[in-house]
Structure 1
Amino acid sequence: MTISSSLNASVAGLASNASRLATISDNIANSSTYGYKRAVADFHSMVIDSGKGTYAAGGVRVTTQRLIDERGPLVSTSNPTDLAVRGRGMLPVTEGSALGVGAATDFPMRLSTTGSFRADADGYLTTESGLVLLGWPANPDGSIPTLPRDSAGGLEPVRVDTNQFVSDPTTAIQLAVNLPATETAAGATGDTESLSIEYFDNLGIAENLSVSFVPTVPATGSSNTWTMLIEDSASGGAVVGNYTLQFDDTPGLGGRLLSVTDTVGDPYDAASGSISVAVNGGDVSIGIGELGEAGGLSQLSDAFAPVSVTKDGSPVGNMTSVEVDANGFVHAFFDTGVSRTIYQVPIVDVPNENGLVTQDHQSYTVTPESGPFYLWDAGDGPTGDIVSFAREESATDVAGELTQLIQTQRAYSSNAKVIQTVDEMLQETTNIKR
Structure 2
Amino acid sequence: MTISSSLNAGVAGLNANATRLATISDNIANSNTYGYKRASTEFESFVIGGNAGSGVYSAGGVRAFTSRLVEEQGALISTSNATDIAVSGRGMLPVTTEVSLENTTGDQPMMMTTTGSFHTDANGILKTDSGLVLLGWPADADGTVPTFPRDTMSGLEPVVINANQTAGDPTTQMNLGVNLPAEDATEPLPLSVEYFGNLGTSESLDMVFTPEAAPNTWTMTIRDSALSGQIIGEYTLEFDDSRGSGGTLSSVTPTVNSPASATYSSSTGVLALTVAGGSLDMTIGRIGDTNGLTQLSDSFAPTQINKDGSPVGNLTSVDIDDNGYITATYDTGFTRRIYQIPLVDVPNQNGLISLNNQTYQVSPSSGSFFLWDAGDGPTGSIAGYAREGSTTDVAGELTDLIQTQRAYSSNAKVIQTVDEMLQETTNIKR
- TM-score, normalised to structure 1, is 0.93
Answer yes or no: is the 8 Å Cα contact 1:69–1:354 preserved in 2: yes
Aligned alpha-carbon RMSD (Å): 1.8
Alignment of 1:310-389 (within 5 A): 310-389=306-385
Counterpart AA for 2:129: E
Answer yes or no: is the 8 Å Cα contact 1:107–1:156 preserved in 2: no
**Which position in structure 1 is the counterpart of 2:168?**
167
Alignment of 1:228-307 (within 5 A): 228-263=220-255, 264-265=257-258, 266-307=262-303
SS of the aligned residue for 2:171 comes to coil
Counterpart AA for 1:26: D
Answer yes or no: is the 8 Å Cα contact 1:190–1:217 preserved in 2: no
**Which position in structure 2 is the counterpart of 1:84?**
86
Counterpart AA for 1:85: V
Identity %: 61
Answer yes or no: is the 8 Å Cα contact 2:319–2:384 preserved in 1: yes
Cα distance in 1, alignment partners of residues 105 and 272 from structure 2: 45
SS of the aligned residue for 1:70 comes to coil
**Which position in structure 2 is the counterpart of 1:185?**
none
The answer for unaligned runs of 5 or more in structure 1 is: 183-187
**Which position in structure 2 is the counterpart of 1:9?**
9
Cα distance in 2, alignment partners of residues 235 and 384 from structure 1: 51
Rate the CA distance shift 1:201–1:103 in 2: closer, same or farther, 3 A.
farther
Answer yes or no: is the 8 Å Cα contact 1:317–1:336 preserved in 2: yes
SS of the aligned residue for 1:432 comes to helix
Rate the CA distance shift 1:166–1:251 in 2: closer, same or farther, 3 A.
same
Residue 239 of structure 1 deviates from its aligned partner by 4.4
Matched, 1:413 2:409: yes
Matched, 1:194 2:195: no
Residue 334 of structure 1 deviates from its aligned partner by 1.1
SS of the aligned residue for 2:43 comes to strand
Cα distance in 2, alignment partners of residues 88 and 189 from structure 1: 69
Cα distance in 2, alignment partners of residues 118 and 361 from structure 1: 16
Answer yes or no: is the 8 Å Cα contact 1:204–1:316 preserved in 2: yes
Residue 237 of structure 1 deviates from its aligned partner by 4.3
Cα distance in 2, alignment partners of residues 281 and 66 from structure 1: 57
**Which position in structure 2 is the counterpart of 1:432?**
428
- TM-score, normalised to structure 2, is 0.94
Counterpart AA for 2:328: A
Residue 425 of structure 1 deviates from its aligned partner by 1.5
Answer yes or no: is the 8 Å Cα contact 2:185–2:211 preserved in 1: no
Counterpart AA for 1:11: V
Residue 235 of structure 1 deviates from its aligned partner by 4.2
Answer yes or no: is the 8 Å Cα contact 1:243–1:261 preserved in 2: yes
**Which position in structure 2 is the counterpart of 1:108?**
109
The answer for unaligned runs of 5 or more in structure 2 is: none
> Which deviations, in whole Å up to 9, do the C-alpha atoms of 1:102-157 show, x marking residues without a partner?
286x4221111111111111111111111111111112221121222122221111
Answer yes or no: is the 8 Å Cα contact 1:192–1:215 preserved in 2: yes
Residue 330 of structure 1 deviates from its aligned partner by 1.3
Cα distance in 1, alignment partners of residues 198 and 63 from structure 2: 71
Aligned residues: 424
> Which deviations, in whole Å up to 9, do the C-alpha atoms of 1:296-318 show, x marking residues without a partner?
10111223332210111111111
Select between 48-57 and 319-328 the one with higher mean Cα deviation: 48-57
SS of the aligned residue for 1:133 comes to strand
Select between 140-149 and 35-44 the one with higher mean Cα deviation: 140-149
SS of the aligned residue for 2:357 comes to coil
Answer yes or no: is the 8 Å Cα contact 2:318–2:326 preserved in 1: yes
Answer yes or no: is the 8 Å Cα contact 1:207–1:233 preserved in 2: yes
Answer yes or no: is the 8 Å Cα contact 2:33–2:389 preserved in 1: yes
Answer yes or no: is the 8 Å Cα contact 2:112–2:360 preserved in 1: yes
Residue 17 of structure 1 deviates from its aligned partner by 0.8
Answer yes or no: is the 8 Å Cα contact 2:263–2:273 preserved in 1: no
Matched, 1:98 2:100: yes
